[in-house]
Structure 1
Amino acid sequence: MNQSILIPLVVGVISAILGYLLGRLSKKSKNGNEKVLLNNKIAKLESSLRNCKESKLILETDLKLAQESNVFIPFDATLAKEVFGKKIKENDLKIIEGVGPKIEGLFHKFGINTWKALGETSIAKCQEVLNSGGERYKIHKPNTWPKQAQLAYEGKWEELKDWQDNLDGGKA
């Protein structure tokens, strides 16, 4: 073979091999960068997941403590209906023996809108609420109302129903 053809041929083959190797190296470098970026994203997501799990654990613990200390007690409408034989709405003050729609309205005017709030209200304050309605409400005796409301708030439906069965218009 002629030397004039051999040199360009060898240079071409060497150039082709070098081009191929450089291309592979740059591709590996690019893939390596993508891999690093993806690993960083995975690490961030795993960290975020850990934080979420820790937050969930804290919230579950707080909820359990709150329930144990009667700060928050979920309302069980099904159980209430089962015991009373009728649908009970949450925080309906009329479930209290001796409290009707008009008396409930008086309590609402005083900002006493929940069983919890009524359960924490003194008998004297209950009488003050009644007195604010005029002469026709002064005859009511709210001696048991806070305790009844507390039982409703705590979801002690059986105990409340049994007690109410022995009351006369909310009076012991």
Structure 2
Amino acid sequence: MDLSNSNIWCWILIILIGIVGFIVGYFIGKSKSASTPGGSDAVHKLEAENTKLKADLEASRKNTQSPKSSSQSESKTSKGKASGEKEFDADEAKAAMGKRIKKDDLKIVEGIGPKIEGLFHASGIKTWKALSKISTDKCQEILSSAGDRYRIHDPASWPMQAKMAHQGEWSALAKWQDDHKSGKF
């Protein structure tokens, strides 16, 4: 038997064992990821929830952008507020949110902290009403103008949350925030 011929078979055997090991490892890893909580079932659930949230957000945008009828804009409550607007009730807000709320505190919106609130104040957005009327693109523009560290924030729901706060829908806002804490379900 030729010595060089046996070396070739050793190398071929080593390569075949490596290929078989890779394939077996791949399938074992694939089966484990499908059975873990972070597997494909969770991904599909999150994708479905994301689709639902996008539809809710789009519906909310349409509601805020649709022109009000003249009867809506002219109808006033006894305190001079337009219909759909409520006088700020700190006790009602505290009861629903579980903490004291100051009127037009932008930090009540999930995702907005003191620094981001400062950015919005510097841009002239100082009230829930003002935040509820701007687009997500404008929110992103304000964040982007402050530098790269603010790009990680997703302001897609901020106008909607601000609208709920402005309209005094504290229970709805609290429920929404509980369901979407930091974007996690």
TM score, norm. by length of structure 2: 0.55
Aligned residue pairs total 111
Structure of higher CA gyration radius: 1
Q: Which residue of 1 aligns with 2:87?
A: 74
Write the deviation string for residues 16-52 of structure 1: whole angstroms up to 9, x where unpaired: xxxxxxxxxxxxxxxxxxxxxxxxxxxxxxxxxxxxx
Please show how residues 108-147 of structure 1 align to structure 2 within 5 Å. 108-147=121-160
1: distance between equivalents of 2:164 and 2:116?
Answer: 19
Contact 2:76/2:82 (<8 A) preserved: no
2: distance between equivalents of 1:165 and 1:131?
Answer: 27
Aligned equivalent of 2:117, options 82, 104, 107: 104
Distance 1:136 1:163, change over 3 A: same
Give, as a single letter, the amino acid of the residue that structure 2 aligns with 1:169.
S
- Structure 2: which 5+ runs fail to align? 1-74
Write the deviation string for residues 74-101 of structure 1: whole angstroms up to 9, x where unpaired: 1000000111111100000000000000
- Structure 1: which 5+ runs fail to align? 1-60
Contact 1:142/1:170 (<8 A) preserved: no
**Identity value in percent:** 52
2: distance between equivalents of 1:85 and 1:155?
Answer: 15
TM score, norm. by length of structure 1: 0.59
1: distance between equivalents of 2:184 and 2:167?
Answer: 21
Across the aligned residues of Structure 1 and Structure 2, the Cα RMSD in angstroms comes to 2.1
Distance 1:102 1:123, change over 3 A: same
